[in-house]
Amino acid sequence: MTLTPLHGIWSVQSSDGVYRADMALPGDIVTGLHDAGLIPDPYAGQNEYDLRWICETDWTARRSVTLTDADIDLVLSELDTVAQVHVNGTLVLDAANAFRTYRVPLGGVAQVGDNDIAITFRSPVAAGKAVSDAHPFPVPWSKNCPIPYGNFLRKPACDFGWDWNIALATSGIYGAMRLEPSAAARIDRLAISQDHSDGVSVTISVYTANHDGAVTVALAEETVTAHTTNGVCTVTITVANPQLWWPAGQGAQPLYDLTVTAGDAVATRRIGLRRMELLAEPDAAGLGFKIRVNGRDIFCKGANWIPADALPGRITDAKTRDLLQSAVDANMNMVRIWGGGRYEPDSFYDACDELGLLVWQDFMFACNLYPSDPVYLAEVRAEVHDNVARMHHHACLALWCGDNELVGALTWYDVSVADRDRYLVNYDRLNRCIEDALRDTDPDANWWPSSPSTGPLSFGDAWHDDSSGDMHFWSVWHEGRDFDHYRDVSPRFCSEFGFQSYPSMDVIRQFADPADFNIAAPVMESHQKNDGGNARIAETMFRYFRFPVDFENFVYVSQVQQALAIKTAVTHWRGLKPHCMGTLVWQLNDTWPVCSWASLDYGGGWKVLHHLAREFYAPVTVVVMPDGDELVLRAVNDTGAALDVSVTAHACAMDGTARELGRGSAQVDHDATELMRVAASDLGPQDMLAFGWTSSDGQKGGDVFAPRPYKAYDLLPARLACDTLFDGQHWTVSITAQAMAFFVTAEASVPGRFDRNAVHLGPGHTVTLRFTPADADATPTFTLRDLHSATYQT
């Protein structure tokens, strides 16, 4: 089959003819205008506000294509969003869903020779308003969105702005763009299921078009031939000596090549053999929530994923893969694709298969109220079918979730509070539509109705009920509670919790001048999208730290503070295993340079939180859990094999002197296990609890626990000294301290990555960090920070 690709340079023009540019498609309008030099960088300064006119304008992209055969189909995907496609002046597609794939026969419209193709992208603001105005009752959009009416369009919700996202609501096309011969044999769909009841067998149903005849299916060195009937055939292959796929940290990720041939049409997939279960079973506490893979219960350690960039034209597979690799490098084994973004492309799920990252997949509904009229639900059914059929075979896919926070949204708007019955029924129609379409497409899928949710057909407060299902716990950030409040709840699975920090200085310099280096400067405020966020960061800092000496150290301490908050939550909840079986930090990545909850900076740099996540998500660790007037040290083991773990605890003074408080040991299997207790009274007012541990498989580690806020301790000058060495590929940075130094962090003047950072260092001890520059020819200078130098005037 000969394909005619349509990607490349198109001519784009605004509806009034004022703006014209050549731009690359796939891509988005805002990126195209910027690349053409017609607008400034949307992410710099306060440019965002001067560029919102772009989403209020219609745009037309046009190109010519020469054909030798006019009997063709047009194939488009991720067409964003309300768009009309004309071929030679004839309307061939009127689209209204950015999440669908379209196939349009062009017979009778296309011609041999030159053909004009034009795609008109309607203003999403105007298009959304038109649907909203025609709706029989009000359906409010999210308060996070400064651009209105997004809930009436099947478009990423965060395009309209969010409490971490720029609001530009761009348009474009980001997926398939091609012409195919209409009469050519093709494979429209592969429906794949696995049976692990007696060995492993894989069943493949093949759906063909323009082909009734032999189909060959090859998998795991087996080849089976079948014949289609009415374009469908089904084969089952038993896999000899199956090699099972495991999440990261649990085993290997072998993938089998599946090849299906029907005439000239060939389809390929990569299959990981695994049995994936979502268990939500009643117990004495309520309703549990856990993932089981190949019969083993998995504690899910990870983060929430939002789009890799606010502008789709700036997203690349390589940048996305780097972000996912960073998740695995920090000992994460799951990402939750949040429902206000997009269904990710195949390359994303391929990477997760290869890396062992479980995927919690939301359907794309978040925080809004949504319509449930027949036209809207028809679009939803098509969207669900398209994406489930495309993605369901991936080994990484752990569960499908109906939406993000739509149950809670019923309590956020005056109209739904005043008329709950109407809006609850409206929501249930949408939710059932999603579930039914999922079941129709993949009957074996793991389904969870909403996040957070205390269970099917339960519409309670899953933000404060920790007994059942999955929980979003936002009381520390949004309600201003102290970090210890994380220890007041015992979630079964916490799928959202977070605390903000500033982006790193190298990121801040991308959008702000030194004159703007002040948290109250308009530029800095424009890169903080959560109401009161900057004030909350500063107010919390007063509780826990002596105030930083300057702006750059304020940025550093904000990241230490964020890391301390999340570490408090994760270590406590891991210590509750198996009552709690998952923690997903909000959030992994950023869509643009902004103050946010992310552990990775925009561009992929590691914040302090991500470095600490590598430690607190380690497969074996020891955590401290306050219990009245005692500190309990518990061991956590996620390896799947029992280990002996031993710990030694010390009281550590600020000058580095230490006195032993005791030792403990235990065999640790699946459940978190107590090793020892320390009386809080055994620590003096200037003492911290320091401990080191070893396990029988050779792993070792240690940590420092401060029972009081860091501002209560009289830190001593660390007088850090640094030696650097370049080996041709990496820089080694050896740091020595003369007093207890906390959260010792090295910053480089050039882009790159440290293997570790934010370490605690005792007097006379040396830590060696390794830095890999993005450009091997770059020569970095290094800046060292620690808690004393950041918060004590000298």
* pLDDT tens sequence across 578-588: 999 999 999 99
φ and ψ at residue 139, rounded to 5 degrees: -130, 95
pLDDT tens-place string over residues 173-201: 999 999 999 999 999 999 999 999 999 99
pLDDT tens-place string over residues 367-403: 999 999 999 999 999 999 999 999 999 999 999 999 9
Closest to 227 measured CA to CA, from 213, 241, 216: 213
Cα–Cα distance, 362 to 100 (Å, whole number): 16
Mean pLDDT in residue range 703-719: 96
Going by C-beta distance under 8 Å and a sequence separation of 6 or more, which residues neighbour residue 476?
482, 483, 485, 486, 497, 499, 565, 569
Rg of the chain (C-alpha set): 28
Structure tokens at 328: 């695995």
Structure tokens at 783: 């800046």
Helix (H, G, I), strand (E, B) or coil at 677: strand
pLDDT at 794 over 80: no
Half-sphere exposure of 95 (CA within 13 A, CB side): 31
For residues 361 and 387, is the Cβ–Cβ distance under 8 A?
Answer: no
H or E element that contains 202: strand 201-209
Label residue 107 exposed, middle or buried (CB < 10 Å: 0-12, 13-18, 19+).
Answer: exposed
Cα–Cα distance, 254 to 786 (Å, whole number): 43
pLDDT given for residue 273 in this prediction: 98
* Integer angstrom CA distances of residue 252 from 354, 406, 604: 9, 37, 25
* Integer angstrom CA distances of residue 176 from 8, 63, 101, 560: 12, 16, 8, 43
Cα–Cα distance, 788 to 794 (Å, whole number): 10
pLDDT given for residue 462 in this prediction: 80
Going by C-beta distance under 8 Å and a sequence separation of 6 or more, which residues neighbour residue 713?
654, 686, 688, 706
Cα–Cα distance, 357 to 398 (Å, whole number): 10
- Between β-strands 334-337 and 358-362, what pairing exists: parallel, antiparallel or unpaired? parallel
Whether the bond into 578 is cis, omega within 30 of 0: yes
Candidate from 439-443, 459-463, 485-489 with smallest mean pLDDT: 459-463
pLDDT given for residue 278 in this prediction: 98
Mean pLDDT in residue range 91-112: 97
Using pLDDT thresholds of 50, 70 and 90, give the confidence band for residue 786.
Answer: very high
- Between β-strands 688-695 and 741-748, what pairing exists: parallel, antiparallel or unpaired? unpaired
Cα–Cα distance, 692 to 231 (Å, whole number): 64
**Span between the terminal Cα atoms of the chain, in Å:** 73
pLDDT at 778 over 60: yes
- Between β-strands 90-96 and 186-195, what pairing exists: parallel, antiparallel or unpaired? unpaired
Whether the bond into 736 is cis, omega within 30 of 0: no
- Residue 774 CB: number of other CB atoms within 10 A? 13
Using pLDDT thresholds of 50, 70 and 90, give the confidence band for residue 344.
Answer: very high
Label residue 140 exposed, middle or buried (CB < 10 Å: 0-12, 13-18, 19+).
Answer: middle
Cα 200–205–208 angle (5° rounding)? 150
Going by C-beta distance under 8 Å and a sequence separation of 6 or more, which residues neighbour residue 36?
21, 22, 23
pLDDT given for residue 186 in this prediction: 96
Structure tokens at 491: 């979630």
Residue ranges of E strands in 272-426? 276-279, 290-293, 296-298, 300-305, 334-337, 358-362, 397-401
For residues 776 and 792, is the Cβ–Cβ distance under 8 A?
Answer: no
| Number of residues in the chain | 794
pLDDT given for residue 777 in this prediction: 86
Please give the single-letter amino acid code of residue 452.
Answer: P
Using pLDDT thresholds of 50, 70 and 90, give the confidence band for residue 218.
Answer: very high
Cα–Cα distance, 698 to 694 (Å, whole number): 7
Mean pLDDT in residue range 8-23: 97
H or E element that contains 476: helix 475-478
Percent of the chain with pLDDT over 70: 100
Please give the full DSSP string across 38-72, using - where no structure is assigned. SS--TTSTTHHHHSGGGGGS-EEEEEEEEES---E
Please give the full DSSP string across 489-513, using - where no structure is assigned. ---S-EEE----BPPPHHHHHHH--
Please, what is the average pLDDT of the chain? 96
pLDDT given for residue 249 in this prediction: 97
H or E element that contains 128: helix 124-134
Using pLDDT thresholds of 50, 70 and 90, give the confidence band for residue 776.
Answer: confident
Going by C-beta distance under 8 Å and a sequence separation of 6 or more, which residues neighbour residue 266?
187, 259, 260
Closest to 157 measured CA to CA, from 362, 395, 393, 443: 362
pLDDT tens-place string over residues 654-680: 999 999 999 999 999 999 999 999 999
pLDDT given for residue 305 in this prediction: 98
Mean pLDDT in residue range 478-499: 97
Cα–Cα distance, 452 to 472 (Å, whole number): 6
Cα–Cα distance, 347 to 316 (Å, whole number): 10
For residues 150 and 141, is the Cβ–Cβ distance under 8 A?
Answer: yes
pLDDT at 1 over 80: no
φ and ψ at residue 272, rounded to 5 degrees: -100, 130
- CA 637, 638, 641, 645: dihedral to nearest 10 degrees? -10
